[in-house]
Amino acid sequence: MAQTQRTHRITLIPGDGIGPEVTDATVRILEAASTPLGCSFDWHRYDAGADAFAKTGEYIPKALYESIEQNRVALKGPVTTPIGGGFSSINVTLRKKFDLYANFRPVKSLPGLKSNYKNIDLVIFRENTEDLYTGLEVMINPDIAQSFKIITRKGSLRIAQAAFDFAAKHGRKKIHAIHKANIMKLTDGLFLACCKQVANGFAGVAYAEHIIDNTCMQLVLNPWQYDVILTENLYGDILSDLCSAFVGGLGLVPGANLGAECAIFEAVHGSAPDIAGQDKANPTAVLQSAVLMLHHLGEAEAAGKVQAAIEAVYAAGTSLTRDVGGTVGTGAFRDAVIAAL
């Protein structure tokens, strides 16, 4: 029987700095893995960030917004947002625009890497659209600035639901809700009340609560006690970076921003302009984000192939980039993963 051909329309945002190099490597690996399985991609490429501004005068061109609206799935490399200048983070802007309320960040050890933290396997669900990241700030007077923390029942319920749905589907045993409700009794108190409400519907998933400052200490002392972390926007931003250190840093950890209509898969490390164009960048974070994208598209077999190939290259240790103790460049790492397919 002839194999069914499937083509997925994907908005591709290469980004700037090392972005074009790591996204190009990822695209080539995805195509090598997927083509034999009857899966192909129709890539719609758009600039964003500093490069887009230089060409169009817009950090996020209107055509990019329209492409994401039509395709509903995007793969994004690192982009540069100027500090100051009146334009908010491009990542935050896209999350708000498409109501990508769930930031999903799996943190899992890759084989072969030296670390004091072995066999890490935890997941962070971070609310992605509210909290202090709404950017609502005022100057009360020249000496006092005020920022508004916004927590809603709707936002808290849907991120909790996403976390518990994931845990139930993937056999995760426990969820910790992270908060500071001992101080922020109304905002974080509302978040916890919503988490408890959702938890009551999942008898098979244990539920616990930890205060954010204690969580940071507990993670450093014993990260293995955590399975799924469920938290608000700011705490999740901090904890995501902290947890990435257990497995080698932001250059290795994937990310997904999920909404009811659209999803954007991205690496969250910087654009590293100091090594751009030098064949030094590690594409692992973008590549593992693309694995999450494949699962989202229903291409589980291709996702498994790519992830297995990544892990085989890391286990062998002979074709790793310099940031993880290797000696090869972006292209050689890409070729090693393709060969491992």
Catalytic residue list: 133, 180, 213, 237
Q: Is 183 helix (H, G, I), strand (E, B) or coil?
A: coil
Query: What is the three-class DSSP state of 25?
Result: helix
Task: Give me the amino acid identity at 57.
Answer: G
Beta bridge partners of 73: 263
Half-sphere exposure of 115 (CA within 13 A, CB side): 19
CB 341 within 8 A of CB 305: yes
CB atoms within 10 A of CB 48: 28
The label of the residue with tokens 């139930």 reads: 168
Sequential DSSP letters for 272-325:
-GGGTTTT----HHHHHHHHHHHHHTT-HHHHHHHHHHHHHHHHH-SS-BGGGT
Alpha carbon 139 to its chain's center: 33
Residue 141 forms beta bridges with which residues? 144
Q: Which residues contact 228 (CB under 8 A, 6 or more apart)?
A: 122, 123, 124, 125, 163, 166, 167, 172, 174, 175, 176
Pairing of strands 144-147, 137-141: antiparallel
DSSP assignment of 98-151 equals TT--EEEEEEEPPTT---SS-S-EEEEEEE-S-BGGG--EEEEETTEEEE--B-
